[in-house]
Amino acid sequence: MGGNFRLATRLIEHQRYVADHARVKAYQQALVEQIHPGDVVLDLGCGTGILGLLALRAGARHVYAVDEGPILQLAQAIAQDNGYADRVTHIRGRSDNIALPQPANVLVTDQMAPFGLGAGLLRYLRDAATRLLTPNARLIPQSLSLCLAPAQAPEAHDRINTFAAGVASLDFSAGLRSMQNMGQNTRFSAAALLAPPQVAITTVLPHPRDSHQHAHLRFCMTRAGVVHGLMGCFRAQLSNTVMMTNTPCHRHAIDRDQLFLPTGLMQLAAG
């Protein structure tokens, strides 16, 4: 029961990924640009294995598809159904706990959280670069930019304030304080943004130039409104010419949540 439930949950998640035409097209274009004939590819957190199969189609010789979940069984079946079973080695486990028969010279992954960095992404990429990749391996994505914009998010704001009034005459202010200091995955529309998103930091993968980056941003409000917090999103540079983003106002945005970072209410004028 537990394994089937986990598989069903992952399958629903990955159904969204494979149905996301903007995402698939971006990776397909980047892989065609980045893959050289005979490349060995590490597909990190492979899910259904689609990125590894696209790498093979682009000319890779072999793919090592790594995932720690039961969805790996589905990835094996999909590789078999598409005639790639002999060119994909599926490895179940976390990438920092496995070894490869040979180092890969390309790493491809889509482990980006709503705000780009998440799920230990940097840690896994650094480990892979140290143990699993050739010295001059190519990474897809090459870099991640984390972007912020002031936004209206009344529903997310209301969720935080569920704790403000207490529950059943009990004091839940500790929950309120915790919620005020954490982000929430939220889906923003372009209309919710009160200023264009700005890049806060850019992280070059797998080794950022500075692991303790900070930013000072100044926004020009395009219209007046109540700011409930900041919208956080990412731009992933998949290759020299291909960029993928979940920025709500981008015409080719992928189907992925953004992050709501509460700031407290601010009534701001345009300008």
Domain residue spans in the chain?
A: 2-140, 144-268
* CB contact at 8 A, 207 and 126: yes
Burial 120-158 (b: 16+ CB within 10 A, else e): ebbebbbbbbeebbeeebbbbbbebbbbbbbbbbeebbe
Question: Which class is 144-268 in CATH?
Answer: mainly beta
Q: Residue 179: pLDDT band by 50, 70, 90 thresholds?
A: confident
pLDDT at position 70: 92
CATH node for 2-140: 3.40.50.150
**225 sits in which H/E element:** strand 225-237
State pTM to two decimals: 0.92
2-140 and 144-268 agree in CATH topology? no
Burial 184-196 (b: 16+ CB within 10 A, else e): bebbbeeebbbbe
Residues shown for the chain:
271
pLDDT at 73 over 90: yes
128-to-85, 105, 123, 140, 207 alpha-carbon distances in Å: 24, 11, 9, 13, 11
More confident position, 42 or 6: 42
Report pLDDT digits (tens) over 96-149. 999 999 999 999 999 999 999 887 899 999 999 999 999 999 999 999 999 999
The residue type found at 79 is A
19-23, 140-144, 178-182, 251-255: lowest mean pLDDT where?
178-182
